[in-house]
């Protein structure tokens, strides 16, 4: 199996050398890359990681490109040309509209689920609804004990909200295999095998594989709009018994603070995991230790000492997202990386991307987002499959966390099953029946 | 202020991995892959070096003298499999084999008592534990950590070769 990757890498190396000159590594393009393009001329983590980080930025740019009428990136427009813009991924299907009550069949262009009664007076056509207060409510919030995790509350005492959306490739697989319902899952013949993306070549346009996007949002003041990708949405909190509160809804301006992009590809059947954050979210552990802090963060108060505000603490219960909390999450990005290349590569690619985005518009909101890293399988087997003896594909980096989505999974030194590890964790996912679900938990939402 | 230990030369780590491959019956490309996000070969080599010092250099010199031999010959020579009283160097090789298989360091020559195995000095790291070769030979996984998907237990595991065992040249026997 190791020989296979060496052969692949050698072949890619020959290809890379044959294709001179190399295209610019990060490009302003609405095309989502079908896979990572390996241009490295040596086989090492140090050499390969930059290629995966370039892939992540190209994917981020394409997904945040202004969409045309068909939902795909509009080549006549450019990301950030007007500062902020509507995005491709926000026209993907929200899982709420895929796994419908009663296991009803969804449709890609169908209307969104009915607006809850509490939201009706506030609703304007096209408005989005954000309701989740955990990354995956059925897994991490409603059944949070195994992960011992909880909500993240910003420096204004407001709960962060989340949503998960699926691209059409992933939606179509779920639809065509009737995996949108418990009944369909029950009669499905395993394995679940989502479509893999394929890199475009001179003779082929490539394939967009299954993509999941998980986003994290915080309430912002309208004056903060120039520094966030923002949306005016309805924030809905369903009624709860413990703690007891009634359903409520409010119209808010929300700023994007975190974005996970997972893409299943030909050379990464374990999916490629790219994670981005707003640059003002949190300081790093090294920033805190050195005292090199910004004056303000979304999830960290630089004026509060570690004794008074211990970092990365789970908010005390009860968790009530309908109220302003006196607890403010004091979040620090811990260093989960065992090799310096991961941060160095992300930093270098961030600088490259920001330079490029600034050429479109120096006021682009997208200049406020940074890649944290890209997790990829170093032993992928290829051909949209995993090596039987190494199904996780020995990921690099071994651990990776987004501070808005895996806030409390940043234990250091990193530990398997405890510290955030995208591929390892998602490898445990199943459907509503005891069948592995190909690295996604969303199929557990089927009704 | 503490001194940062100087990293061991890459050539020594590579030779240690190649020697370990012969000793363990695995492929060197599995113990020290070119794309290596975990870096166990370096971790193990530097750990062993910290425990036995110059004895490690002597062992590598002995290995280099026979490195072109078949893996089984290298293993038999270094482990002194035909000897009833293995030398200190052979006992060190036993500890290296145990380190790769169990992710733990056993003091060379330290015997258990009353039929019990010896107690390891320490488990080297959580990743050493989860990456122990013993799990691969078992075509299984350690307690508390599984790389396999739900329901794997109902399926026949992949062949030993898919776990990196050198089934073709002296290993996997």
For residue range A383-423, list pLDDT tens digits in order. Answer: 899 888 899 999 999 999 999 999 998 988 888 888 888 89
**A190-217 confidence digits (pLDDT tens):** 999 999 999 999 888 899 999 999 999 9
Chain A residue with Cα closest to B150: A436
| Domain residue ranges in chain B | 10-132
Q: Which residues of chain B have pLDDT under 70?
A: 1-4, 169-173
pLDDT of residue A24: 57
Residue B128: other Cβ atoms inside 10 A: 21
Q: What integer is the mean pLDDT of A344-359?
A: 97
The two tokens of residue A370 are 């940074």
Residue in the structure block whose two tokens are 């406020």: A368
pLDDT digits (tens, 9 = 90+) for A86-143: 999 999 999 999 999 999 999 999 887 788 899 889 988 878 888 766 554 433 233 2
Task: Determine whether the interchain pair B30/A2 forms a contact, defined as Cβ–Cβ distance below 8 Å.
Answer: yes
pLDDT for the residue numbered B169: 56
For the stretch A419-424, contacts whose Cβ atoms lie closer than 8 Å and that sit 24 or more positions apart, written own/partner, are A419/A336, A420/A336, A421/A375, A421/A395, A422/A262, A422/A271, A422/A273, A422/A275, A422/A375, A422/A395, A423/A270, A423/A271, A423/A273, A423/A375, A423/A377, A423/A392, A423/A393, A423/A395, A424/A392, A424/A395, A424/B147
According to the model, what pLDDT value does residue A199 have? Answer: 94
Interface mutation vs chain A, best among B18, B26, B35, most A CBs within 10 Å: B35
**Per-residue b/e over A2-24, b at no fewer than 16 CB within 10 Å?**
beebeebbeebbeebeeeeeeee
- Asked whether the beta carbons of A166 and A174 are under 8 A apart, the reply is yes
Mutation target among B149, B160, B165, B166 for the A interface, most CBs of A within 10 A: B149
Asked if the Cβ–Cβ distance from B38 to A394 is below 8 Å, we say yes
Taking only the tens place, the pLDDT of each residue in A218-237 is 999 999 999 999 999 999 88
pLDDT > 70? residue A2: no
Report DSSP state, residue A97: G
Contact A170, A211 (CB under 8 A): yes
How far is residue B24 from each of residues A58, A259, B74, B160, measured CA to CA in Å?
43, 43, 11, 14
Tell me, yes or no, if B130 comes closer than 8 A to chain A by beta carbon: yes
Asked if B159 is an interface residue toward chain A (Cβ–Cβ < 8 A), one would say yes
- The predicted pLDDT at position A7 comes to 45
Write phi, then psi, for A257 (nearest 5 degrees). Answer: -120, -20
pLDDT of the residue at A138: 35
Query: What integer pLDDT is reported at residue A134 of this predicted model?
Result: 56
CA proximity to A288, closest of A275, A273, A277, A299: A299
Q: What whole-number distance in Å separates Cα of residue A59 and Cα of residue B148?
A: 29
Q: Looking at residue A4, what is its pLDDT?
A: 45
Interatomic CA distance for residues A231 and A215, integer angstroms: 12
Q: What's the confidence (pLDDT) of residue A437? A: 96
Mutation for testing the B interface, residue in A7, A378, A388, A393 having most B CBs under 10 Å: A388
What is d(CA A57, CA A367) in angstroms, rounded to the nearest whole number? Answer: 12
Task: Report the predicted TM-score, pTM, of the whole model to 2 decimal places.
Answer: 0.92
Concatenate the DSSP letters of all residues of A350-370 into one string.
HHHHHHHHHHH-TT-GGGGEE
Question: CB–CB of B144 and A417 under 8 A?
Answer: yes
Residues in contact with A241: Cβ distance below 8 Å, sequence separation at least 6, in sequence order: none
Determine the 3-state secondary structure of A217 from DSSP: strand
pLDDT at B113: 74
Count CB neighbours of A392 within 10 A: 20
Pairing of strands A395-396, A161-166: unpaired
Q: How far apart are CA B171 and CA B173, in angstroms?
A: 5
pLDDT score at A130: 83
| pLDDT surpassing 60 at residue A17 | no
Q: Does A13 touch chain B (CB under 8 A)?
A: no
Q: Give the tens place of pLDDT for each residue, A136-173.
A: 443 323 323 234 478 999 999 999 999 999 999 999 99
Q: Which residues of A touch B149 (CB under 8 A)?
A: 391, 427-428, 436
- Cβ neighbours of B30 in A, within 8 Å: 2
pLDDT per position as a tens digit, B23-57: 999 999 999 999 999 999 999 999 999 999 999 99
End-to-end, the C-alpha distance of chain A in Å comes to 40
Write b or e for each residue in A154-188: b if 16 or more Cβ atoms lie within 10 A of its Cβ, otherwise e.
bbeebbbbbbbbbbbbbbebbbeebbbbbebbeeb
Check CB contact of A412 with chain B, cutoff 8 Å: no
């Amino acid at each position: 199996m190791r020989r296979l990757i060496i052969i692949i890498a050698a072949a890619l190396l020959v290809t890379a050398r044959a294709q001179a000159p190399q295209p610019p590594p990060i490009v302003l393009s609405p095309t989502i890359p079908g896979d990572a393009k390996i241009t490295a001329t040596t086989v090492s983590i140090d050499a390969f990681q930059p290629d995966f980080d370039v892939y992540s930025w190209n994917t981020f740019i394409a997904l945040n490109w202004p969409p045309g009428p068909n939902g795909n990136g509009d080549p006549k427009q450019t990301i950030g040309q007007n500062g902020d813009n509507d995005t491709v991924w926000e026209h993907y299907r929200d899982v709420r509209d895929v796994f419908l009550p009663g296991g009803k069949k969804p449709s890609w262009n169908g209307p969104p689920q009915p607006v809850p009664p509490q939201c009706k007076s506030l609703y304007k056509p096209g408005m989005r609804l954000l309701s989740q207060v955990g990354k995956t409510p059925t897994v991490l919030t409603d059944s949070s004990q195994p992960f011992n995790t909880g909500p993240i509350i910003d420096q204004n005492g407001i709960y962060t909200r989340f949503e998960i959306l699926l691209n059409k490739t992933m939606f179509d697989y779920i639809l065509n295999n009737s995996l949108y319902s418990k009944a369909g899952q029950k009669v499905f013949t395993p394995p679940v095998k989502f479509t893999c993306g394929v890199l475009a070549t001179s003779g082929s346009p490539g394939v967009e594989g299954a993509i999941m996007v998980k986003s994290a949002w915080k309430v912002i003041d309208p004056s903060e709009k120039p520094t966030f990708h923002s949306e005016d949405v309805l924030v809905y909190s369903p009624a709860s018994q413990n703690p007891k509160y009634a359903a409520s809804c409010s119209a808010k301006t929300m700023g994007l603070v975190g974005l996970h992009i997972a893409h299943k590809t030909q050379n990464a059947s374990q999916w490629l995991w790219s994670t981005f954050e707003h640059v003002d979210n949190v300081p790093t552990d090294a920033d805190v230790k050195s005292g090199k802090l910004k004056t303000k963060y979304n999830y960290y108060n630089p004026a509060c000492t570690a004794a008074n505000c211990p970092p990365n603490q789970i908010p005390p219960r009860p968790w009530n997202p309908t109220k302003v909390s006196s607890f403010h999450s004091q979040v620090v990005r811990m260093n989960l990386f065992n090799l310096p290349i991961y941060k160095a590569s992300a930093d270098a690619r961030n600088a490259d991307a920001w330079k490029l985005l600034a050429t479109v518009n120096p006021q682009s909101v997208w200049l406020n987002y940074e890649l944290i890293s890209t997790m990829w399988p170093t032993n992928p087997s290829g051909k949209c499959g995993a090596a039987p003896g190494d199904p996780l594909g020995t990921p690099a980096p071994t651990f990776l966390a987004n501070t808005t989505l895996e806030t409390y999974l940043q234990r250091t030194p990193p530990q398997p099953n405890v510290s955030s590890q995208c591929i390892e964790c998602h490898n445990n996912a199943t459907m509503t029946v005891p069948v592995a679900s190909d690295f996604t938990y969303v199929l557990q939402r089927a009704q | 202020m503490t001194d940062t230990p100087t990293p061991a030369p890459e050539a020594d780590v590579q030779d240690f991995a190649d020697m370990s491959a012969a000793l363990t019956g695995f492929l060197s490309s599995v113990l020290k892959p070119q794309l290596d996000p975990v870096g166990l070969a370096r971790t193990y080599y530097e750990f062993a070096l910290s425990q036995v010092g110059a004895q490690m250099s002597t062992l590598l010199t002995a290995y280099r003298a026979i490195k072109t031999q078949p893996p089984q010959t290298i293993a038999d020579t270094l482990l002194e499999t035909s000897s009833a009283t293995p030398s200190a160097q052979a006992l060190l090789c036993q500890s290296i084999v145990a380190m790769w298989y169990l992710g733990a360091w056993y003091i060379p020559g330290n015997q258990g008592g009353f039929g019990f195995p010896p107690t390891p000095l320490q488990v080297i790291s959580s990743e050493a534990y989860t990456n122990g070769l013993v799990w691969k030979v078992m075509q299984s996984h350690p307690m508390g950590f599984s790389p396999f998907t739900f329901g794997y237990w109902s399926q026949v595991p992949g062949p030993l070769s898919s776990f990196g065992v050198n089934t073709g040249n002296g290993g996997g026997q």
